[in-house]
Amino acid sequence: MNNNQFTEVEIAEMTQFLNSKNRHVCCYKPNIVINKAKFAIPNFDHNEDKLPAFAVTCHHCGQTNLYSVDVFSKA
């Protein structure tokens, strides 16, 4: 198993989180895709080096957003 990629179970949880939120769409024809690669958001708190994150990209307009992994695990 590659530790640099999310599992299918984790991606399913992210998809469920994204579908459960009423959010503004990025364009008139959104085609949102979750990136399987794991990302990190820099954290300036001395207790943690970085926050684990996942990225979503609209393949129609190119908008990309990063979300903390904590956001879907607490939903």
Q: Is residue 65 assigned to a domain?
A: yes
Q: Which two tokens stand for residue 68?
A: 């903390």
User: pLDDT for 27-71, tens place per residue?
Assistant: 888 888 999 999 988 877 766 678 889 999 999 999 998 888 887
Greater confidence (24 vs 60) lies with 60
Q: Is residue 42 assigned to a domain?
A: yes
Greater confidence (18 vs 59) lies with 59
How many domains does one find in the chain?
Answer: 1
What's the N-to-C CA distance of the chain in angstroms?
Answer: 26
Residue 26: give the domain boundaries. 8-73
Q: Is residue 3 assigned to a domain?
A: no
Q: Is residue 39 assigned to a domain?
A: yes
Check: CB of residue 51 under 8 Å from CB of residue 59: no
Q: Is residue 1 assigned to a domain?
A: no
pTM of this structure: 0.75
Q: Is residue 16 assigned to a domain?
A: yes
Q: Is residue 53 assigned to a domain?
A: yes
